[in-house]
Structure 1
Amino acid sequence: MVTTPLARDDTAAHVGRLPLTLGVEEEFLLIDPDSGTNVPLADEVVRGLQAAVQGHSRRELRRSMVEMVTPVCTDLSTLRVHLLRHRRAVGDAASAAGARLVAIGATPVAEPHRAVPPQQRYRAMTEHYGPVAADPAVCGCHIHVGVPDPHLVVEVCNRLRLWLPVVQALTANSPLYAGRDTGHASWRSVQLQRWPGVGPTPHFDSRRDYDETVAALVTSQVMLDEAMVYWYARPSATYPTVEVRVSDVCTDVDDTVLVAALVRALVATAVDEAYAGVPVPRVRDCVVAAAHWHAAHSGLDGTLTDLRLGTARPAWELVGDLFSTVESALREHGDLGFVRSRLARLRRVGNGATWQRRTLHRTGDLRAVLQELAERTVAG
């Protein structure tokens, strides 16, 4: 339990300046417009992008996925412009290639073609992990918040543990698999548990503790390299950021902006608590893992685990507690009004898992769900 305030050196003082920077990575699925099955057309789609947008695209393990990465942003309006521009550009390129772009957390029907791209890293992953690496595609949303201090970033990850199950529930958007409702709001979260590097971030006593643990996992060949640490919050292996990767990709662009605002506010609050010496609650890893399973199962349509109390509570009560916890940081970043209104809308209409189920129940037609997904993915 950390009780001593951190000293503010020059780097730390830089972290304390508002606004904290933001970047977002969104993964999208390419599906057949008629059958809804995944189609391996990522290369064709990326080649169809204009050069300015193509530079923000990334290859993934599955050929039915396209990832888009925003530039570094400091305000939500600029972030939204980039997100929407990328979605519409990839949506147009997908249509030209004979596919449909959807923002959904997991493969809803099937993925008959699972050959990996030719990159050496992907071949190594397939050889090492076998059938796990051949699972159908899953699509997440990764939020990067600028924290350049390598020691502070580890403590921030410790402090995020209490709240990431709530973020997971807010963004649950993958209830379907093999053409049916799985009974889980985020099937992506369940599917990813087969990977050894995925799950809640362990508590670390220091940056050295973190580095030694990651080195041991790589040396033991559980992970191929440091980049395969896929914990729900981690010091980015590429950027001077905290990377939060617990969320399903959101279908509505404004829900992506919402989760980015909440995650930035959580990070800012964690930084302030670290400097003030607020103790870090220590919760057993198995209890944190259970809270994440609960969030993946129930989403917002039931209860969630309050890790502060160790009890189940109505999901929207915990969302309210999250909002209260980060309200000051939201206000300081100028995000309070947007987040308040977007949360109110989310409570009225439900998250992605809720409205997918509602559409499926109303129409009895999976194709209607996929059509709505495609339309909402590029709507502004």
Structure 2
Amino acid sequence: MAGTTDRSQGRVSHQAVAPMTGSPASRRGHPRLTVGMEEEFVLIDPRTGRARPTAEQVLRRIPGPLATQVVPELTRFQIETNTPVRTDLRRLAADLLELRTVTSAAAASVGAGLAACGTCLAGVAGMPPLTSSPRYLHMYQHFRALLHGQAACGCHVHIGIADREEAIQVSNHVRPWLPLLLALTVNSPIADGMDTGYASWRAILWARWPSAGPPPLFSSAEHYEALVDSLYATGAILDRAMVYWLVRPSDHLPTLEFRTADTCATVEEAIMLAALIRALASTALADVRRGVAAPQVHQTPLCAAYWRAARDGMEGDCVDLLSGRRMPTWHLVRQLLAKVCHSLEDSGDLALVTAVLHRLRCGGSGAARQRAAYNRRRRLADVADLLLRQTLAIPNFPDRPYVPRG
């Protein structure tokens, strides 16, 4: 639940990713943008997959300078990590793996496992144990049962766009692609000890919040601010950190934050997501600077497409919001790659992205892999074992793009 970390305790969840700015444009006019990432994890019993409310003990065991990059979350069985700012995504991958490894070791020292997934497998029904802070108590008093079953963990990608007006216009341009970004990262099919029937149950949990979901089209930065003020005036948010739109300009960093994805099962998949988001934002920013108008996608079909992505993920269908047609998700992936290919080439990330996408298509999404592990013996322990192994899997990035045969 990034953006909700209690600052009254002197912990600022995003301090490790500030400041961020874009660097000069590439030879094709695509700006080279910086990236920072937040990953949220569930602490589980390694033998059963049930939630373990041990975050405070884990945080006390994070060593040295990394202690500032691992912070508490809404509940006592969640924890969040924040990376430094990077332009080289392979260095960012090393940051993610280091944070996962160190935090996992700290969790193991108190008998817990660090699981990279969008929801907890079991043990989170009803009101969760909240992290001790006045802010979270206020949230409970105001929103009450909205917090029941709240164990949603996401992967948030910050893209360095310092100009707020440009950030708002980039948000407008990327809206049609938000459902696909979810479909590529679905990793939460199991919750409360059962298969929910959704590839991303986290996305469904988040849809309950009045400030969540795809952002509207904004006419300007002033329009954005007016809508945020209206959310506050109605009590739909208690502060600006509770603006939970899937894309939002950060309130305290010069970034545009993408909040579409489940916590990715592996570092490879998290970096693939970051690369695609940066390429999409870079392509959109180049269009904004050339005066290209954003697609006029209405809110209702956009929300419906996001629901479809949460249900089906990579293994089903999605909606091309620019044509209105439903199609297999992988067909739309090809369209996205065609759109952002030049930006991926300029940043040197094309090989990385195509290779990881190929492995995902062959091996299945995080959600599909969880279901396969569960269906073998109908045991949550098997899924827990899979999640813990994937969390620490070492990425393997190629130097050349994968080229499909035929």
> Same fold judged by TM-score > 0.5?
yes
Equivalent residue number for residue 7 of structure 1:
none
Equivalent residue number for residue 49 of structure 2:
36
List alignment gaps of at least 5 residues for structure 1: 1-11
1:47 pairs, out of 25, 39, 60, with 60
CA contact (8 A) 2:22 2:161 kept: no
User: What is the CA distance between 1:41 and its match in structure 2?
Assistant: 0.4
Equivalent residue number for residue 8 of structure 2:
none
Percent identity among equivalent residues?
39
| Aligned counterparts of 1:110 and 1:118: Cα–Cα separation in 2 | 19
Residues 13 and 138 (structure 1 numbering): CA distance in 2 closer, same or farther, change over 3 Å? closer
Q: Answer yes or no: is 1:369 the counterpart of 2:380.
A: no
CA contact (8 A) 2:32 2:282 kept: no
Q: Answer yes or no: is 1:109 the counterpart of 2:122.
A: yes
| Aligned counterparts of 1:345 and 1:110: Cα–Cα separation in 2 | 32
Q: Deviations over 1:69-122 (max 9, x none)?
A: 000011111100100000000110111011111101012112267231222211
Residues 270 and 364 (structure 1 numbering): CA distance in 2 closer, same or farther, change over 3 Å? same
Q: Deviations over 1:161-200 (max 9, x none)?
A: 0111101000000000121111100000011111111100
| Aligned counterparts of 1:274 and 1:142: Cα–Cα separation in 2 | 23
| Aligned counterparts of 2:280 and 2:226: Cα–Cα separation in 1 | 26
CA contact (8 A) 1:305 1:313 kept: yes
Equivalent residue number for residue 231 of structure 1:
245
Equivalent residue number for residue 163 of structure 2:
149
CA contact (8 A) 2:314 2:330 kept: yes
1:352 pairs, out of 362, 366, 385, with 366
Q: Answer yes or no: is 1:206 the counterpart of 2:220.
A: yes
User: What is the CA distance between 1:133 and its match in structure 2?
Assistant: 2.1
| Aligned counterparts of 1:122 and 1:14: Cα–Cα separation in 2 | 38
CA contact (8 A) 1:28 1:103 kept: yes
Give the TM-score, by structure 1 length.
Answer: 0.94
| Aligned counterparts of 1:125 and 1:196: Cα–Cα separation in 2 | 13
User: What is the CA distance between 1:14 and its match in structure 2?
Assistant: 5.3
Equivalent residue number for residue 19 of structure 1:
32
Q: Answer yes or no: is 1:255 the counterpart of 2:273.
A: no
Q: Answer yes or no: is 1:306 the counterpart of 2:316.
A: no
Amino acid at match of 1:236: S
Equivalent residue number for residue 89 of structure 1:
102
Q: Answer yes or no: is 1:285 the counterpart of 2:299.
A: yes
| Aligned counterparts of 2:78 and 2:39: Cα–Cα separation in 1 | 10
| Aligned counterparts of 1:118 and 1:367: Cα–Cα separation in 2 | 29
User: What is the CA distance between 1:136 and its match in structure 2?
Assistant: 3.1
CA contact (8 A) 1:110 1:136 kept: no
How many equivalent pairs are there? 370
User: What is the CA distance between 1:32 and its match in structure 2?
Assistant: 1.4
| Aligned counterparts of 1:14 and 1:178: Cα–Cα separation in 2 | 45
| Aligned counterparts of 1:302 and 1:54: Cα–Cα separation in 2 | 40
| Aligned counterparts of 1:147 and 1:139: Cα–Cα separation in 2 | 25
| Aligned counterparts of 1:109 and 1:230: Cα–Cα separation in 2 | 25
Within-5 A mapping of 1:315-354: 315-354=329-368
Equivalent residue number for residue 260 of structure 2:
246
Equivalent residue number for residue 205 of structure 2:
191
User: What is the CA distance between 1:15 and its match in structure 2?
Assistant: 6.5
Equivalent residue number for residue 222 of structure 1:
236
SS at match of 1:161: helix
CA contact (8 A) 1:39 1:111 kept: no
Q: Answer yes or no: is 1:272 the counterpart of 2:274.
A: no
Q: Answer yes or no: is 1:99 the counterpart of 2:112.
A: yes
TM-align CA RMSD: 1.6
User: What is the CA distance between 1:146 and its match in structure 2?
Assistant: 0.2
Q: Answer yes or no: is 1:65 the counterpart of 2:81.
A: no
| Aligned counterparts of 1:58 and 1:351: Cα–Cα separation in 2 | 28
SS at match of 1:23: strand
User: What is the CA distance between 1:13 and its match in structure 2?
Assistant: 8.7
Amino acid at match of 2:179: P
Give the TM-score, by structure 2 length.
Answer: 0.88
| Aligned counterparts of 2:369 and 2:128: Cα–Cα separation in 1 | 29
SS at match of 2:128: coil
| Aligned counterparts of 2:239 and 2:380: Cα–Cα separation in 1 | 39
Amino acid at match of 1:54: A
CA contact (8 A) 1:171 1:247 kept: yes
User: What is the CA distance between 1:327 and its match in structure 2?
Assistant: 0.5
Q: Deviations over 1:331-371 (max 9, x none)?
A: 11111111111111111111100111112223332211110
CA contact (8 A) 2:174 2:281 kept: yes
| Aligned counterparts of 2:22 and 2:160: Cα–Cα separation in 1 | 13
CA contact (8 A) 1:173 1:248 kept: yes
